[in-house]
Structure 1
């Protein structure tokens, strides 16, 4: 609880300093002067980077997957070797169309996305593990084989 209190007080002080003034009241609570307008609220979505989930692929290998996604599944982002939200949305479209993925096309790599990927890898990349939604070493090795097979699309 003390850590949380210190964090909140520290954040309050930082906000006061950023606003240009620091007026303390009581036990270390920072407030801005009345003539200073508060900064606009910022959402975590505005500042958080997109999640990159390469599942063990190098940037080069992930770029090959992005080339395949570009050619077949509507990926229109940079071929940068970073399998981020937009790359995974494209992959989810493929998994929904062919491999039993029933979740949202949201780019979040959860167990449903991994299960769909495992079904595809089982059919085409010699994946012989369970369809369990866990991206273990067998899933990652089969995904590397998929990436290598995607190289001609670049």
Structure 2
């Protein structure tokens, strides 16, 4: 297994601190998608829950595999745009996407 393979399975908080990542996990749980342990670390289970939610909403996250790839990022961008963030849907977790994700998770648990 290469280093890249390992990083795919690692925690990917997309710029969130532990508190805001817990807020995202609580939001997933509270909307009916089990992210696993609410620990502030967005790992495979958290992202699988998000992918299931995005797919159920028709936001096309693609395969539910817990990998934060371009399809998952596009689905996240589409989701955040529902709330008026005005993000480019490009599948890149750039500065604006991370800032919107940070803002979206300002409250929770």
TM-score (norm 1): 0.62
- Report the Cα offset of residue 75 of structure 1: 1.4
- Report the Cα offset of residue 106 of structure 1: 0.6
Distance change >3 Å, CA 74–CA 123, structure 1 → 2: closer
**Cα contact 2:18–2:41 (8 A) shared by 1:** yes
Q: 1:108 aligns with which of 63, 67, 83?
A: 67
In structure 2, the residue matched to 1:69 is: 28
SS of 1:148 mapped into structure 2: coil
RMSD across aligned C-alpha pairs, in angstroms? 1.9
Which one has more relative contact order, counting CA pairs under 8 Å at least 6 apart?
2
Equivalenced residues, count: 105
Structure 2 portions without partners, runs of 5+: none
Deviations 1:120-146 (A, max 9, x none): 11111x322310000111101110122
Matched, 1:85 2:44: yes
In structure 2, the residue matched to 1:122 is: 81
TM-score (norm 2): 0.86
Structure 1 portions without partners, runs of 5+: 1-42
